[in-house]
Structure 1
């Protein structure tokens, strides 16, 4: 039998910057889209592009079997859905609201008690990137839900399935944001350091991104196996060598009046591992310091 290629209708709850971008992407992909926002005026540009504005959350939920929510936080979402409880049964909620893994698991339990299928998600792009080639969305919850709605959700970005535990998407989200902030802070520290000697960020950055994309990604690939095995052979560069280089970074920063909080943290963790007898291990050994 031929597959139905008719675009799936969808309801979007919440029209902040991200919610508006989600609704825009659905409309651009041809999906009939119902929208609701506490401040109704925010829906007007979307209505002009073909969306249907619902007067209440209950009306918005009742309009379609698939509901996508992106509001301020989980408490706000609970408040919004509380008015729609009589029409929740048999529908699917894809929650793209930011929150903790524990909140996602609690909401999944609440949804199950209302016969509402639940898929938790995390958006790994800013609003202007929604629907673009670099947009990635992480999903966790019942795998059949993502499979069923993948074509619709793909209008927002590449869907990535993280398994049946509803809390995992939020867990990845927070971990990946930590990675982003760490990388950006490291780059900014480098910009400040070389800038103290008159080097422009525009000159430093191409070298930095080449280093990140090549050598640093290579380290991550190598250390992934070590972390999972709990075995950290220092055959590329051991912690004693890393600490010596960190001390050069500290000296260079102090000599130039650049903040040294970041390299001090790195050196302190390396010193802890070395003091515990792991100076000959690889940099990946520091995961044990972080776990403690």
Structure 2
């Protein structure tokens, strides 16, 4: 398991910064990587990751299993992930409640699924297959959504709750995705935050997003390319005041900033969580 500290997403631009951080530094508490970037036998990626793994707990945040694909998840992808997990023994492994292809094509997107009983049965089976192959429980991330399906039979929170309880998996709770989805679908983000069972949450993600305007309404785009928004910070504070400390990630994947900017975001997250933890204890 990851420690209840604040981590950052590791990018090659910051390899040296991470490894040159002094032993007295509080942050980062752990590091997250996309395992697909290390699906090679050797070379510089593994030299860097091996050096990092000697100093920090690792989280593997997969973007390629395509758990929601109708034909079933990508078995080759799962096998490569299993081999990488055996090599590095990460503290946590996660993927998304989404699909990214079919039997013939792969897409560079995390596409939404319909929240129906039939879809739930399918996703339960796929998550169980992943956990059986990896020999561990995984975390599933709530998606960012831009539309809802007319045939939905339950809301997202109920779907995630049922998935976690039936498979034993945990929830990677992306609070930026709550702001994105609730804004785009005109839902109440505070109500969403309050409805999540904190006992299921094994990790929290915080990130920024872009905003477009259409017909005088905002459309939020989950691009992970900017500072965490004030709204997401407020939602994070609301959740951890109820739930207490969790592993928290600052996720920044595009328009990559200087390392010091990432650490400043991590420090803010740590301060909010420390105050929230004190409030829970009181």
Question: Same fold, TM exceeding 0.5?
Answer: no
TM-score, normalised to structure 2's length?
A: 0.29
- Give TM-score scaled by structure 1 length: 0.28
Higher strand share: 2
Bigger radius of gyration: 1
Q: Which has the higher contact order (CA 8 A, sep 6+)?
A: 2
